[in-house]
Each structure stands twice: as structure tokens, then as C-alpha cells.
Chains A and B, each alone.
Chain A
Amino acid sequence: MPLQGMLWPRTVAEATAMLDQDPEAKPLAGGATLVAMMNARVLEPLALVNLARIDELRGIRVLADGALRIGACTRHRETLDCMALSGTTAVLRRAAAQIANATVRNMGTIGGSISFADPGLDYPPAIVAADCSVEIAASHGRRTVPAREFFVDWYTTALEPGEIVTAILVPPPAAGGAAYEKHARVSGDYATASAAVCLAADGKVRAAIGGCGPTPIADPEADALLSADRSDASVARAGALLEARADPLDDVRGSAEYRRLLIPRLLLRAVRRAEADGSRPR
């Protein structure tokens, strides 16, 4: 059955009411994923709720305490250009800069990306490492979930039917550095594996691994090890803890075994790069 309707809500309340009314409808943000899936006939939605004209979902706002609110329909290009993402939270800019290519970064949105939740995406490990939260709206109200609870399983998020992501909430940046190390077959591909590291000036580290299981991998013990000691040996121990939580697939981007081998290597590179980033004169 071909697509029967495209709806243009002007507010989040209108959008969620439309999604309630038509359980077959899919929300459309930048189209970088959804239209590609329609072209490939992986997805044949009966109706689209086009979020492009909802002002609230566009752009990045700096809140009073320095926290940031990134509207769900903010394009990757805007995120990678946002200088308010600094210190530890610059990890989001680093991840955004490596998504696909310049033209697709003009189209794709952060809300669309994380809602797709492909394990090889760049934002999921970055928003987990930066300890972001995801704001979700339904017709009956809004809720906020920590990024690490947002990703539930392969291509599965905490979103319930009728819900959409409205914003990514980024905590106030801490002084320090950040890095996103991505290993991909070619520039612009999905990650075979990736490592996101936020290193605060006080030594506190948060790390997350992408591409090596259904959801981004984080481990409080690994973070504690890295926060206490960033020697090669300690980073290797943290890498082993993260690798123990990995559940990678064999696919065209690499074997499961190869991905496991990448985890400690990418982690070490990311830690060193975050150190260099944090010590740059500003």
C-alpha cells in the first residue's frame, strides 16, 4: 500500500496527537535514514508526520546552568559547528563531524539518528559518554531518560509507539577534553567500532564504545579505572572490561573477533587524543 498522507504538525502536541491517531504513521525528520529505507523498500509507511516545521525541535539552546538542549531536528552540521559544545561535551561535535559526509550532515538530524539506533552510528556512544539525557514526548506528556537507558537492543530504543524524541539534553561542559575515535572501512561509512571519551580536567573519565553490540557499551568500573590511572596498562585493563561486555556481530564491516580487538586499541587512541585536546591552549 503506497504512502497515503504527509502531515505537517506545527507543534509537538500536534505531532504526537497525529501519531496517536494513526498507529501506522512514522515521524519524518531529515530523511537521511527514513527516505533511504523507503527507497530500499525496507519500510513502506502509510503516513508520514513531517516534523520539519516544528520550531521547538530546531536548533541548540544554552540553558542558564550551561547545559545544552539540542532540538531533535537539529542537523548534524549545526551540532558540529556548535562551539558551546566544549570541554568534555565537545565529544558530540567530534562524533557529528564523522557522520557520513558533508551533504548528508546538512540533512540528517540528531533525533532521527538516535531513534534509528543502528549500532554503527556515531552519536550513541558520544551521548552516552557525555552523560546526556533524551527528552521524549507523547500525547500524554514528556519524560526524560538517560542516554544509556535510551538504547535498549538492536535498533530498539526506549521510544514507545506514539512517542518522539524532542531533545537531547547535554550536561554543562566540564573543562577538559574529548575524543571520538572511529574505525570504518571508508570515510563516511558506519563505524565498524568506535570509542568516545570525555576527560575532565579533574581526571574524571567517561568512555563508551560503539559498533560492538546492540547498544553502546559503558562500564562504571572501566570509567573508575581510567579516572584513577591513564597509564597504558590501566587503559588496557579498562579496555578489557569494556570488551567483556561486547556482543559484536560478524558482518560486512568486520568480524566479531576483529571488533573485539579494536576496542582496547580505539580506547587507548581516544584517551590519548582527549588528553591532547584538553591540554590545548584555549
Chain B
Amino acid sequence: MSASIAAAGSPASFVELDVNGQAVAVRASLSTTLLTALRDELHLTAAKRGCNQGVCGACTIRIDGVPMRACLSLAHGCVGSRVATLEGLAADPRMQALQRAFAETGGFQCGFCTPGMLVAAHALLEREADPDEDAIRGALSGNLCRCTGYVKIVAAVLAAASASKGSP
């Protein structure tokens, strides 16, 4: 840290976070959201800034394993928690099945909502390996897509679930 940054910031201008299994020191003021820290400081840009109000779901990530909104989480409030973004979940076979299914089914158009959709759908499949359409629509009801009309997104999750069947 340069002397000028240290002088300009309060003592809280850096925060130690556990992101995708790595300990990182992130520059963040006290009111910096986790989303801003992830995107603007760590350049983990899968999580998108849509509404910044918790409504659109484009910033869905996991905190201590639980799907949450990065935009409603303060970076300094995540000290001591495990943060996982889509980048950190991408090695999981179930996530890869989802990504393949989204691509093959055409479950996206502009792609802005896709990372949030994937994180939310992945959490659903972890909890419920074989969800029906209602369960999928319920689990994704907090993820807005302005392109697809959702039909192909639901189809993609169904396809991923059946593709994952039989695998552990």
C-alpha cells in the first residue's frame, strides 16, 4: 500500500475476504458493497450490477454456501464468511452441466442475467436433484431476464437436472 493511499483512506479502507477459497485484501470503504468489491477491485465480473436493490438477481453469489445478493451485502460485513462467485463454482460438474444446458438449449440471449441464473439454479439442483417446472420457476423467481421469456431457461435447468442424473 502506498503512503498516499494509506493517508487518504480510513483504517477500514481494506478488508480481508475469503473469495472462492482465497484470502484476499480488497480495497473497500465501509459502504462498498460486496458486488462493487468483487467487480471493480477483484475483477470478478460474473456477478452483474443490475438494479443494485436486490430485485433483479443478476448479482447472485454464495455467502457461506447460501445464495445471496452481492449488492445487498457490505464488503466489510463479509469478514469471516466464505464468498463464492460463479467463477469459483465453475469447476463443479453440476455447474458445468448447467452451463452446457444453457448453451445447448439457448437459455440466454444477451447473457446479462445468466451468471445469476446459474448460481441460483445450481443451488436449487444441490438441494433438489430432480426439480419440476414449478420448483424451478420458484427458485428462479428472483432472477429477472428481459430477453428470453424464461421458457428456455426453465428447459435448460430441466435438461441439466436430467443430464446430472446418475452422477453423484
Contact = CB atoms under 8 A, between A and B. Distances in A.
A and B interact:
yes
A47 to B, nearest CB: 9
B83 interface: no
Nearest to A107: B68
Interface centre among A2, A104, A188 (most CB of B within 10 A): A104
Interface stretch (A3-11, A128-136, A191-199, A271-279): A3-11
A35 B30 contact: no
Interface in B44-65: 52-55, 57, 60
A127 interface: no
A63 interface: no
Interface residues of B, number: 28
A6 B30 CA distance: 7
A6 B71 CA distance: 18
A138 to B, nearest CB: 24
Contacts of A4: 10, 30
Interface of A: 2-6, 28, 30-32, 35-36, 38-40, 48, 50, 52, 100-104, 106-107, 187-188
Contacts of B33: 35, 39
Contacts of B106: none
A187 B141 contact: yes
B142 interface: yes
A87 to B, nearest CB: 25
B119 to A, nearest CB: 9
Identify the 6 closest CB pairs spanning chains A and B, nearest first. A101-B142, A3-B30, A3-B31, A39-B52, A35-B72, A36-B53
Contact of B138 (A6, A31, A52, A102): A102
Given A4-B10, A35-B72, A102 B139 contact: yes
Nearest to A37: B53
A103 B144 CA distance: 13
B145 interface: no
Nearest to B69: A103
Contacts of A32: 54, 69, 72
B77 A36 contact: no
Given A32-B54, A103-B142, 19 more contacts: A2-B29, A4-B10, A5-B30, A6-B12, A6-B30, A30-B72, A32-B72, A35-B71, A36-B53, A36-B71, A40-B52, A48-B74, A102-B120, A102-B138, A103-B60, A104-B69, A104-B142, A106-B66, A107-B68
B73 interface: yes
A100 B73 CA distance: 16
Given A6-B76, A102-B67, A36 B30 contact: no
Contacts of A103: 54, 57, 60, 67-69, 120, 142
A2 B77 CA distance: 16
